[in-house]
Amino acid sequence: MQTVKSASELGALHTRLNAARDPKRPLVTVCGGTGCQASGCMKVAEAVRDTLGGDPKLAGKIDFRVTGCHGFCERGPLVVVHPQGIFYQQVRPEDVDEIVRLSVVQGKPVERLLYRDEVSGKTFTRENEVPFYKNQQRLIFGMNGQIDPRSIDDYIAIGGYQALAKVLTQMKPEQVIDQIKKSGLRGRGGGGFPTGIKWETCRRAEGIRKFVICNADEGDPGAFMDRSLIEGNPHSVLEGMIIGAFAIGAREGWVYIRKEYPLACDVLRNAMAQAREYGFLGKGILGTAFDFDVRIRRGAGAFVCGESTALMASLEGRVGEPRAKYVHTVEKGLWNFPSNLNNVETWANVPLIINKGVEWYARIGTGDVTGDAWGGSKGTKIFSLVGKIRNTGLVEVPMGISLRQIIYDIGGGVPDGKRFKAVQTGGAVGGLHT
C-alpha cells in the first residue's frame, strides 16, 4: 500500500479498483459473520477455495470472497453465487462441488439448497427475492455482502472514503454539521438524540482537547447489530468517526467495544492498520492539515458501561458508574474534555449521508422533509429479530415501520400455528407490546 495524499489520488485508486470488480464475472461469496462461523462457514469457505483452485478450468477465472454477516443468521452458512444472485442456505462443505458445477459453471440452481418459505411453500432462487431480504431496505447493512471486511481495497472500490475526501476538500466543519442536522439522523444507540445537534454542541464547547467515541459496548440480550456491522464493514464506522472528528474539532478517538466480541475486535484492528497505511488515519489525512487517530478499548463485560458516562469512566480506568445527567459529556466528558459519543450504527450512517445527500436521506423514515433536526426519525434502523419467529436474524428497515410488518412480512410470523402474544422492544429496559 502507498499513502493516498489527495482526493484526486483516492479517486484514481477507486476507479482502478472498481474497474477490477467486473459485475459480470462469476463470484462466490460466503458469509463469514459470527453466526455463520458458529454453523461451520469457514469449512465451507475452505471447500470453495479448494474446489475453485483445484480445477485448472476454473482457477483464476472465478472470484471468491468471504464477506461479513448477511443478516439471515439462523439459515447459515450462507453462500451467494453472482452475478445471478443465487442464494443458498445451510450449506455444508460436501455441497460445494455441486454448487460450483451447476451454479458457477452452468448458472443453474441447486434446488435442495434454496430457501423455501414455510408459509407459502414457494421456493426462491435469488437473494433479493427471499421475503426476509425483499421486505427490507438495506442501506447500511447491505454493503456487508459486497466486501471482504479485511480488505480496505474492497471498501474503496465501492466508494469508501469518498465522503471523507469530499468533507476535507470541499466543506467546512460547520457545513458538515449542518448537513447532519438537516438529514434528521438520530442516535441509533437507543436515546434517539439528534446527531447534528450533539455535534454542534460539542464543537462549540471549550476545551484544549476533544474526543470522538464509538460506543460498541452492545450489552442488550439478543442484540448483535453493532457487532455485525464492525465485523462486516469496519471502514464505514471509521470513516464516519473521522468525518465527525473533523466536524467537532477532535484529533483523538476511541472505540469502546465488548470484550465478548473477539472477531469484531480483530477485524477492527486490521481495518485501523490498513487505514493508517493508506493515510486515512494519522497525520495530514489526504494531504490536508487534519490529523486524527483512533484507539480501541475493550470492555470487561459490565452492562452499565453501555451508558455514556459509565463508558467514559471505564475509559479513564475508573469503575464504570454513571454520573449525574446535568453534566453533559459534549462539554465535560472523557477526562473532563468535550467528548462526542455515538454508537456504531450512527457513525456508519454518516458517510452515506455525505455521499447520497441530505434530501435523499431525509425522504426515508418518518416526519416531513423539512431539514429540521427534530423533525421525525430519518433513515433506516437495524434490528435484531430473535425469539419464537420463523425467520430470525438482523433486519434493516425504514424508521416508522410497523412491528406487524417486521414480524410477519420479514420474520414470517409465529411458527407451529401458535398465536402471537407479545414482542419486547428496546432490550433489557424496553417494554412488551401485545
Dihedral through CA 262, CA 266, CA 268, CA 272, nearest 10?
A: 150
Instruction: Assess if residue 155 is contained within a domain.
Output: no
Give the whole-angstrom CA distance, residue 21 versus residue 158: 9
Assess whether 184 and 277 both reside in one domain: yes
pLDDT of residue 263: 94
Where helices occur in 381-428 by DSSP H, the ranges are: 403-404
Assess whether 285 and 183 both reside in one domain: yes
Instruction: Assess if residue 422 is contained within a domain.
Output: no
Instruction: Assess if residue 191 is contained within a domain.
Output: yes
Assess whether 215 and 349 both reside in one domain: yes
- The CATH number for 98's domain is 3.40.30.10
User: Any idea how long the chain is?
Assistant: 434
- Provide the domain count of the chain: 2
What are the grid coordinates assigned to 377, written together?
426519525
Assess whether 32 and 114 both reside in one domain: yes
Instruction: Assess if residue 242 is contained within a domain.
Output: yes
Instruction: Assess if residue 386 is contained within a domain.
Output: no
Assess whether 215 and 324 both reside in one domain: yes
pLDDT of residue 428: 67
Q: Which has the closest alpha carbon to 152: 15, 42, 14?
A: 14
Q: Which has the closest alpha carbon to 129: 99, 95, 84?
A: 84
Note down the domain range covering 43: 22-126
Domain final residue, candidates 362, 380, 400: 362
Assess whether 192 and 330 both reside in one domain: yes
The whole-model pTM stands at 0.95
Domain final residue, candidates 335, 362, 389: 362
**What is the helix (H) or strand (E) element at residue 7, kind and residue range?**
helix 7-19
Q: Could you tell me which residues come within 8 angstroms of residue 278 by beta carbon, excluding any fewer than 6 positions away? A: 1, 2, 3, 4, 152
E-strand ranges in 32-163 read: 63-67, 79-82, 86-88, 115-116, 123-124
The backbone torsions φ and ψ at residue 88, rounded to the nearest 5 degrees and listed phi first, read -120, 140
Using 70 as the pLDDT threshold, list the residues of the chain that sit under it.
Answer: 1, 370-371, 373, 427-429
Assess whether 348 and 199 both reside in one domain: yes
- The CATH number for 267's domain is 3.40.50.11540
Domain final residue, candidates 362, 384, 418: 362
Can you tell me whether residue 124 is helix, strand or coil? strand
What are the grid coordinates assigned to 302, written together?
459490565
Instruction: Assess if residue 398 is contained within a domain.
Output: no
pLDDT tens-digit readout, 73-88: 989 999 999 999 999 9
Assess whether 229 and 116 both reside in one domain: no
Q: Is the dihedral of CA 239, 241, 247, 250 positive or negative?
A: negative
Q: CA-CA distances (angstroms) from residue 180 to 82, 168, 403?
A: 35, 15, 27
Assess whether 181 and 73 both reside in one domain: no
pLDDT tens-digit readout, 214-238: 999 988 878 899 999 999 999 999 9
Assess whether 232 and 306 both reside in one domain: yes
What are the grid coordinates assigned to 19, written together?
474497474
pLDDT of residue 426: 74
Q: CA-CA distances (angstroms) from residue 323 to 187, 198, 244, 334, 342?
A: 20, 19, 25, 12, 18
Q: Is the dihedral of CA 128, 129, 132, 135 positive or negative?
A: positive
Instruction: Assess if residue 245 is contained within a domain.
Output: yes
pLDDT of residue 60: 79
Beta strands 423-425 and 431-433, pairing class = antiparallel
Instruction: Assess if residue 419 is contained within a domain.
Output: no
Assess whether 225 and 277 both reside in one domain: yes
Assess whether 187 and 329 both reside in one domain: yes
